[in-house]
Amino acid sequence: SQTIHQWPATLVQPVGSPLSLECTVEGTSNPNLYWYRQAAGRGLQLLFYSVGIGQISSEVPQNLSASRPQDRQFILSSKKLLLSDSGFYLCAWSVQGAGEKLFFGSGTQLSVL
Amino acid sequence: SQQGEEDPQALSIQEGENATMNCSYKTSINNLQWYRQNSGRGLVHLILIRSNEREKHSGRLRVTLDTSKKSSSLLITASRAADTASYFCATVPLSNDYKLSFGAGTTVTVRA
């Protein structure tokens, strides 16, 4: 069966510090991978998605970046965090193809202080 | 950007009652999906309805889709305390069917 791992569960970082969130999927090949951010009590904002290794589509221009160094690994990074980067970050995957349902990780609560 | 908008924002019902929430969207879609999120957790997929479908059932869930009105509804019948969660609709646009855009969600509280 397929599983998605996302870590860490919580993170407190000072403004200006770097960020690296990692997400890995097991039990499937060539998944579509997604990063979403959720502000408190709000909906999900799509940040990045990837349909293959090295293929990253960015939805929101900001100081975040994403990389997919391996087929089932998706990394969200920042060189310098801003206060506005605080939020609940969710990684998700779907089977290869368009319009498929998403399977979400358990999320990372990021607080930038 | 959020394409779907759920209504109401919050809903409080008694156990055993039905819960209905609505989702409106703006552009033509490939399909529409509903998800549930328990507090502080990831989202769980509930049901997917395609643009050529009008109604779909899954257990105690019933979803309708009206593409002419660009709206969908989710009905939870015979609600239970375990149904307490936030519910989100997500749309897959025809223009880019790799992107799922989520609404702000409806928070449902089921009172015992």
The confidence score (pLDDT) of residue B1 equals 46
For residue B89, give both structure tokens: 């609709």
Per the CB < 8 Å rule, is B98 touching A104?
no
Instruction: Tell me yes or no: is domain B5-105 CATH 2.60.40.10.
Output: yes
Count Cβ atoms below 10 Å from residue B35 Cβ, excluding itself: 23
The confidence score (pLDDT) of residue A99 equals 83
Least confident span in A10-19, A51-60, B30-39, B43-52: A51-60
Question: What's the whole-number mean pLDDT along residues B40-45?
Answer: 94
Q: How many residues does chain B have?
A: 112
* 8 Å CB contact between A72 and A84: no
Kindly list the residues from chain B whose CB atom is less than 8 angstroms away from the CB atom of residue A111: none
Strand order in the sheet with A19-26: A3-7, A19-26, A73-78, A64-70
Bridge partner residues of B48 (DSSP): B33
pLDDT in tens, B87-98: 999 999 988 888
pLDDT top residue among A4 and A41 = A4
Q: Is the pLDDT of residue B2 over 60?
A: no
Using the structure block, give the residue that is written with the tokens 């989520």. Answer: B102
Q: Is the pLDDT of residue A82 over 90?
A: yes
The confidence score (pLDDT) of residue B97 equals 80
Question: What's the whole-number mean pLDDT along residues A81-102?
Answer: 93
Measured in whole angstroms, how far is the alpha carbon of residue A50 from the centre of its chain? Answer: 10
Question: What's the whole-number mean pLDDT along residues A35-47?
Answer: 90
pLDDT band at A66 (very low <50, low <70, confident <90, very high): very high
Bridge partner residues of B91 (DSSP): B32, B101
Handedness of CA A66, B93, A100, B74 (dihedral sign): positive
| Nearest by CB: A99 against B30, B42, B45 | B30
For residue A25, give both structure tokens: 């999927």
| Nearest by CB: B48 against A36, A57, A101 | A101
| Nearest by CB: A90 against B4, B42, B104 | B42
CB contact A7 to B (< 8 Å):
no
Chain B residue with the nearest C-alpha to that of A33 = B98
Range 53-112 of A in CB contact (< 8 A) with B: 57, 59, 88, 90, 92, 98-99, 101-107, 109
CATH of region A3-112: 2.60.40.10
> What are the extents of the domains in chain A?
3-112
Smallest CA-to-CA distance from B79 within B67, B88, B87 is with B87
For residue A113, give both structure tokens: 């202080």
pLDDT band at A61 (very low <50, low <70, confident <90, very high): low
* 8 Å CB contact between A10 and A113: no
C-alpha distances in Å from residue B24, one per residue of A25, A44, A100, B74: 32, 16, 20, 12
CB contact B25 to A (< 8 Å):
no
Distance from CA of A107 to the nearest CA of B (A): 6
Interface test with A, best of B49, B102, B106, B107 (most A CBs within 10 A): B102
Interface test with B, best of A101, A103, A108, A109 (most B CBs within 10 A): A101
Per the CB < 8 Å rule, is B102 touching A44?
yes
**Residue A97 DSSP symbol:** S
Per the CB < 8 Å rule, is B43 touching A90?
yes
